[in-house]
Each structure stands twice: as structure tokens, then as C-alpha cells.
Amino acid sequence: MAQNGGNHGKNGVKFEAPQPHSVKEQLPGIQYCINSPPPWLEAIALGFQHYLLTLGITVLIPSILVPQMGGGNVSI
């Protein structure tokens, strides 16, 4: 049980809890952390890549699956 404020070790000597190192100190090869945004040019390039992939998948999946399910370009 702690006495006199609770942040003291043996013989009343005050100690501090260990503090974690920052992520950049732990992983020196990274340029930014998961919580920090990328630089603007990289963000724009990644956004454009995401747009192309989303557009491709939106068009590709229906054009592969619909003919296999018996559908076509004829409207009912």
C-alpha cells in the first residue's frame, strides 16, 4: 500500500514511471506514422489510385458476373 502520495519507492525516494519512446524512435525507417497524414502529392496519387481501382472493380465484377447468370445488354 502506498503512503505519502503513492509515487514513492523504497526509503521515500520518488520515481517516475517509464515513458514509451515515440514511434519514429522505435521505427527509424518510417517517414510518417499511421495517425499522421501523408504529404499532399502522395495523398493525391494514392487517392487517384483508389479511384481507378474502385472504378475498375465496379465495372469489372458486373461485366463478368451478369453474363454468367444469364443476363445481357437487353432491357426488359
Kindly report the pTM of this predicted structure.
0.44
Q: How far is CA 14 from CA 20, 27, 43, 47, 55, in A?
A: 19, 31, 47, 51, 61
b/e code 16-46 from CB counts within 10 Å (16+ = b): eeeeeeeeeeeeeeeeeeeeeeeeeeeeeee
Tens digits of residue pLDDT in 28-46: 777 667 777 888 999 999 9
Domain ranges of the chain: 39-68
Tens digits of residue pLDDT in 10-31: 666 777 777 777 766 777 777 6
30 forms beta bridges with none
